[in-house]
Structure formats: structure tokens, C-alpha cells
Amino acid sequence: MDSGQTALMPEPLTIFLIVDNAPDAEDDCFALSGAVYAEGGQEVWRDQEGRWVPLEGDWRERRREVKAEVAHLLGPAAHFLPVVVRPLPDGDLEGVPLGWKLPS
């Protein structure tokens, strides 16, 4: 954890990443386990692979509860946050910070 990161009580949160492929193609979906940290006055989601997403102020209102019937798909967190991204021609993803790589 770097010095700009404060993690008194990180809040577990699953990012449900939806890759919005071409209009006629099926979307790809990934459940990414991580936690929310306060960093420099902003809340940021981070995972163990180094991915991160700065969270908007209303993320708590937009998160959804993980129901028992899908808990095996969404991991141990009590809540998940849907995040929609679009693939760019250069391989990056529009909607998340540069350098994100999709899980294999």
C-alpha cells in the first residue's frame, strides 16, 4: 500500500465489469473482487492485480446487493457495482483508467 492510500476500514466491493462489445456481439462480463479505499479525499476501488477505478460520489446509491443465488458468481462482497466499458481499437478500455487488462 503506498503512502497516499488510507485503509482504516477498506470496504469489500465487487466490480461487475461489463464489456460492451459491438452492437451485434455478446457482451463479456467479469466479477472482480476488491475493496474501496480513501485516497487523497477520494474513494478508489482497487483489486489485488493492480486494477483501480476512481469512484464517483454516488457509487453507494448505485451499488447493488449480492443476492444469495448469485453470490457464487460475484464473490465474497455484500455489494457489487456495475461498470460498463467499451473496447478501443488499440486494446485499451474506454471507461476505466489506462493500462487496465481484462482477466484471462
- Identify the three-state secondary structure at position 62: helix
Domain that holds residue 33: 5-88
pTM of the model: 0.83
User: Which string of DSSP letters, residue by residue, matches 86-104?
Assistant: EE-TTS-EETS-TT-----
User: How far apart are alpha carbons 9 and 28 in whole angstroms?
Assistant: 31
**Within a domain: 50:** yes
Residue 101 lies in a domain: no
Confidence grade of residue 8 (pLDDT, cut at 50, 70, 90)? low
User: pLDDT per residue over 50-73, tens digit each?
Assistant: 899 999 999 999 999 999 999 999
Q: How far apart are alpha carbons 35 and 83 in whole angstroms?
A: 15
The rounded distance, in Å, linking the Cα atoms of 53 and 62 is: 15
What is residue 64's predicted lDDT score, i.e. its pLDDT? 97
Total domains in the chain come to 1
